[in-house]
Amino acid sequence: MTAETKTGIEIEATGASASCCSSTGSCHDAAADAQTGGVTAVYQVSGMTCGHCEGAVSSEISELPGVTAVTAVAATGRVTVVSQAPLDEAAVREAVDEAGYELVGTA
C-alpha cells in the first residue's frame, strides 16, 4: 500500500507512524520557510539514534521564541532550525540538554 505526499512522491505505508513529528506538530518544510525570510542554522547534536530522539529534540527547540521550523536527522546528528532571527546558542544548547542530548556546536 502506498500513500502520496504533497510533492507527489509515493511512500510505502506501514501500520506504524513514519515519524513522531506528526504528533508534535513541529515539522515544517525548512527550505520553504527559509525562502520566506527566515534564518537557517544547522547544529550538530550527539546521542540521537531514532525517530523518537528526533521528535524530542525538535519539540524542545520548537519551543524557543521565534523558531518556525525544526528538522532533526538522527542518522547524521544534524538539526536544522529556521527562525525569525538568529538564535542564542546557549538557548539552543539548553533546549537540546532538556531533551536529553548534547549540542556539539554548529555544523
Q: What confidence tens digit (pLDDT) does each residue in 1-49 have?
A: 433 333 333 333 333 333 344 333 444 454 554 455 799 999 999 999 9
CB distance 104 to 46 below 8 Å? yes
Which domains are delineated in the chain?
A: 20-106 (3.30.70.100)
Q: Do the strands 67-73 and 78-83 form a parallel or antiparallel pair, or are they unpaired?
A: antiparallel
User: pLDDT tens across 56-83, in order?
Assistant: 999 999 999 999 999 999 999 999 999 9
Give the pTM: 0.68
Set of cell numbers at residue 19: 515519524
